[in-house]
Amino acid sequence: MKILITNQWMILSAVEFAVIVYMFFLLRKAKRMNPSDLEIRKAKKSDINMDDVMRDMHEAPALYKALSRACHPDRFAGNPIELLANELFQEVQQNEHKFKQLELLKTKIQEQLHIKIKV
């Protein structure tokens, strides 16, 4: 009976040892990472405001539409500020889904093109 109990403990410890060896193997495998993987690890620490994401999702489309209409280069054809309007229009297009940037662009457009934008 004593021998049987000892054998059970031996088997259990052997299984535990095998699990530990397997975990070490997995950890060594995980350590071999390429530079892009390191970049991903860095991203883990970034803080994201979900309210901004919601604004990008629901409020940005209307603002984008209004801004792209307001500073469309066709509105300023033959005008000395046509080039400026073209630049601003491209900026608006690049920030289509970014509400914060679009709001900044709105004030910039109003100041530089001397127009009022209603959203």
Partner 1 sequence: MWKYLYSIQDWFNDFSERRRLVRNFNLSARQAFVANLAPTLLEATISIGESAYRHAFSKFMAGGFRIKALSGRPLARHEMVSIAEVVLNNQELVRKLISLGWDTLEVHDNSGYNGIKYKLYDYSGIGGVLGFNQ
Question: Taking CB under 8 A as the rule, does residue 82 contact partner 1?
Answer: no
Letter for the amino acid at 28?
A: R
Whose Cβ is closer to partner 1: residue 18's or residue 33's?
33
- Which of 17, 97, 115, 119 touches partner 1 by CB under 8 A? 97
Structure tokens at 30: 């995980």
Structure tokens at 27: 């950890």
52: helix, strand or coil: helix
Whose Cβ is closer to partner 1: residue 39's or residue 83's?
39
Binding mask 25-64 for partner 1 (x = CB under 8 A): --x--x--x-xxxxxxxxxx-x-x-xx-xxxxxxxxx---
Provide φ and ψ at 90, rounded to 5°: -65, -40
Compute the distance between CA of residue 7 and CA of residue 13 in angstroms, rounded to an integer. Answer: 10
Provide φ and ψ at 32, rounded to 5°: -80, 85
Span from 3-11, 22-30, 82-90, 111-119 in contact with partner 1 (CB under 8 A): 22-30
First to last CA, the chain: 85
Shortest Å, Cβ 46 to partner 1? 6
Q: Which residues bind partner 1 (CB under 8 A)?
A: 23-24, 27, 30, 33, 35-44, 46, 48, 50-51, 53-61, 96-98
